[in-house]
C-alpha cells in the first residue's frame, strides 16, 4: 500500500522540523511547503530546504508572497525593532493573518495532490501568544477547509494536524531527537544573520534555549 500524501508547513525552525519528522514516522509521503513572504530572516528558507531534504520529503515547494507590502510586524517591517525582552500582550512579531494565509495555500496544494492531511507546528504552551496558534483557531480553519473546497463538498474532508499543540519546548525536542532530528540544521531566531547565526535575545531564541535546557541536552544553536 502506497504512502498517503500530506502537506507539511515547514519554516526551518525547531517546531515545524519536529512535525515533519512526526509525519514521516506515521508513514505519510511528505510534501513540504515554505513561504518567502518578505520576512527579515532569510536564513530560515535555507534551513527549511535543509530539513526537508534531511527528513526525506517527496517535494519541497517555496511560495513567494509579499506580506512585507502590508507590514504590521517586526518580522516583515525593518522599521519595527524585534523585541529582545519579554513584553505583555501579543508581541510585535505577530504577522497579521500569517497562519490563515499559509494554511489556505497549503489547503489548495493538498487538494491538487489529493492529500487529506495538513500538518502545522503551532503550539499553545511555550509560544509567543499569537492568536493563530490556538486550538480553537485550528478547529475553525478546519471547518472552513471542509466547507470551501471541492474535496470537502464531495466528502473528502481535510484534517489539520497539530501534534505539538499541548507540548512544552523540552518535550518537543525530546520527541524530535527520538525520531532522529538534527536540530543543528534548524534556524529559529527572528533576526538571524544570513549565515543563520542566532541573536540569542529574541523571544524565539529564549524559548528555544530554555527548551534544550528542559530536555537536558546540549543546545546546537550557532549564536552570533
Segment 119-145 mean pLDDT: 92
CA distance 167 to 138: 16
In a domain, 220, yes or no: no
In a domain, 224, yes or no: no
Whether the per-residue pLDDT at 190 is higher than 80: the answer is: yes
Segment 129-136 mean pLDDT: 93
In a domain, 221, yes or no: no
In a domain, 19, yes or no: yes
DSSP string, 22-66: HHHHTT-EEEEEEEE-S-S--HHHHHHHHHHHHTT-SEEEEEE--
Whether the per-residue pLDDT at 75 is higher than 60: the answer is: yes
Read off the pLDDT of residues 36-71 as tens digits, 9 standing for 90 and up. Answer: 999 988 999 999 999 999 999 999 999 999 999 999
Average pLDDT, the chain: 95
In a domain, 222, yes or no: no
- Cα 122–chain centre separation: 7
Segment 184-212 mean pLDDT: 95
Segment 73-88 mean pLDDT: 91
CA distance 166 to 171: 10
CATH code at position 9: 3.40.50.620
pTM: 0.95
CA distance 184 to 103: 27
| Number of domains comprising the chain | 1
Give the pLDDT band of residue 1 (cuts 50, 70, 90): very low
95: its cell numbers: 504577522
Range of the domain at 69: 5-215
Read off the pLDDT of residues 81-94 as tens digits, 9 standing for 90 and up. Answer: 999 988 788 999 99
In a domain, 83, yes or no: yes
Smallest CA-to-CA distance from 108 within 177, 158, 179, 173 is with 158
Whether the per-residue pLDDT at 137 is higher than 60: the answer is: yes
Q: Is the dihedral of CA 136, 141, 144, 150 positive or negative?
A: negative
In a domain, 208, yes or no: yes
Q: Which residues pair with 35 in a beta bridge?
A: 63
C-alpha distances out from residue 205 to 18, 83, 97, 197, 211, Å: 17, 11, 23, 11, 10
In a domain, 34, yes or no: yes
Segment 167-186 mean pLDDT: 97
Q: What's residue 124's pLDDT?
A: 87
CA distance 131 to 90: 8
Amino acid at each position: 500500500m502506497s504512502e498517503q500524501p500530506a502537506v507539511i508547513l515547514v519554516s526551518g525552525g525547531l517546531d515545524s522540523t519536529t512535525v515533519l519528522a512526526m509525519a514521516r514516522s506515521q508513514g505519510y509521503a511528505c510534501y513540504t511547503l515554505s513561504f518567502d513572504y518578505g520576512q527579515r530572516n532569510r536564513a530560515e528558507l535555507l534551513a527549511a530546504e535543509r530539513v526537508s531534504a534531511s527528513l526525506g520529503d517527496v517535494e519541497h515547494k517555496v511560495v513567494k508572497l509579499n506580506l512585507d507590502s502590508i507590514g504590521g510586524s517586526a518580522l516583515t517591517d525593518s522599521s519595527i525593532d524585534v523585541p529582545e525582552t519579554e513584553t505583555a500582550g501579543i508581541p510585535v512579531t505577530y504577522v497579521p493573518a500569517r497562519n490563515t494565509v499559509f494554511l489556505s495555500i497549503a489547503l489548495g496544494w493538498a487538494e491538487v495532490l489529493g492529500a487529506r492531511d495538513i500538518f502545522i507546528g503551532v503550539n499553545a504552551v511555550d509560544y509567543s501568544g499569537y492568536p493563530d496558534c490556538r486550538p480553537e483557531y485550528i478547529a475553525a480553519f478546519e471547518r472552513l477547509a471542509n466547507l470551501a473546497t471541492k474535496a470537502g463538498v464531495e466528502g473528502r474532508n481535510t484534517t489539520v494536524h497539530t501534534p505539538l499543540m499541548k507540548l512544552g519546548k523540552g518535550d518537543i525536542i525530546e520527541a524530535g531527537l527520538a525520531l532522529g532530528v538534527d536540530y543543528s540544521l534548524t534556524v529559529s531566531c527572528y533576526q538571524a544573520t544570513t549565515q543563520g547565526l542566532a541573536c540569542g535575545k529574541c523571544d524565539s531564541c529564549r524559548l528555544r534555549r530554555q527548551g534544550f535546557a528542559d530536555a537536558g541536552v546540549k543546545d546546537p544553536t550557532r549564536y552570533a
